Amino acid sequence: MPPIPRYRQIADELRQRIKSGTLPAGAALPTEVELMEQWGVARGTVREAIALLRAEGLISTARHRGSHVRPRWPVRRLGMDRYKVETRQRDGGESEPATSFTADQRIGWSDYTMDKDYSEVGADEQLAGLLRVDVGTPLLRRHFVFRSYGVPQQISTSYLLLEMVGGTPVADPDREPWPGGNIAQLATLGVQVSRIREQIRTRMPTTEEARILGLGDAVPVLTITRTMLSGERPVEAAVDIVLPGDRVELDYTIDL
């Protein structure tokens, strides 16, 4: 087996110190000079090690400030019952405002904020297939960035049939965030969501997604293509929900 390159040895040690808490969130890493002296290597080797940790999203580097350990957010668990908080909200069974996002994040309503952008678009082939409508059918496009304690944790672009929601409070961005999310919103229009399908994939983030979510170059994202149905009728499609791969854990049970 070939020897482990020196820059990887340096990165491995620093990574272990970060994960063990010896270097906690916000702590400064040793300077380049200190690492050069400790390991007896050239500056370029140290910079390769730092670049690797930065690509993994473990550290951030600022000009004239050096490198610091990034905050480590708790892993969220996306269970099969994650939408039940929204059905309880719809049915009056929740005493406090909540959505599946606040349940995932384990945060209160006051800790939940979002960026939002609404527009009207025509269905492309993918959306037409998901919603079972003709290509070009008018849709309401809603682009959200969900924030927990002010930090972006999820990007979502969802689509609703314009003929269903146009001119209603559901199409008003000032009403967001809406307790109970899509399920509670659609219920106000007499539409009861009875089934949800989610298709899950992983990929590397786009440049814009990485910027918004604050991801390192080597951190993948988990994407969810979601379809909500009322009986057999699709009533909402999300293409896609984008989540940081280092902050999400899928947790579900299959009864046999």
Fold type of domain 76-250: Chorismate lyase (3.40.1410)
pLDDT of residue 225: 98
Per residue in 5-23, pLDDT tens?
Answer: 999 999 999 999 998 999 9
Per residue in 42-60, pLDDT tens?
Answer: 999 999 999 999 888 888 8
Q: Is residue 158 scored above 90 in pLDDT?
A: yes
> Coil, helix or strand for 120?
strand
Query: How would you label 101-110 residue by residue, b for 16+ Cβ within 10 Å and e otherwise?
Result: bbbbbebeee
Q: What value does the mean pLDDT of the chain take?
A: 93
Of 162, 108, 116, 105, whose CA–CA distance to 139 is shortest?
Answer: 162
pLDDT of residue 216: 79
pLDDT of residue 254: 82
Fold type of domain 6-69: Arc Repressor Mutant, subunit A (1.10.10)
pLDDT of residue 147: 96
- Residues 233 and 227: their CA atoms lie apart, in Å, by 10
pLDDT of residue 111: 95
Per residue in 189-219, pLDDT tens?
Answer: 999 999 999 999 999 999 999 999 988 778 8
pLDDT of residue 92: 87
Angle between the 43-55 and 32-39 helix axes, to the nearest 10 degrees?
Answer: 110
Of 191, 185, 196, whose CA–CA distance to 228 is shortest?
Answer: 196
Specify which residues 199 forms β-bridges with.
225
Output the DSSP codes for 29-92.
Answer: PPPHHHHHHHHT--HHHHHHHHHHHHHTTSEEEETTTEEEEPP-PPPEEE-TTTTHHHHHHHTT
- Nearest 5°: phi and psi at 20? -80, -15
Q: Is residue 85 scored above 80 in pLDDT?
A: yes
End-to-end CA distance of the chain: 45
Q: How many residues does the chain have?
A: 256
Of 42, 185, 177, whose CA–CA distance to 116 is shortest?
Answer: 177
**191: buried, middle or exposed (CB in 10 Å: 19+, 13-18, 0-12)?**
buried
HSE, CB side, 13 Å, CA atoms: give it for residue 143.
7
Angle between the 6-20 and 32-39 helix axes, to the nearest 10 degrees?
Answer: 120
* Structure tokens, 152: 């972006």
> Coil, helix or strand for 107?
coil
Domain ranges of the chain: 6-69, 76-250
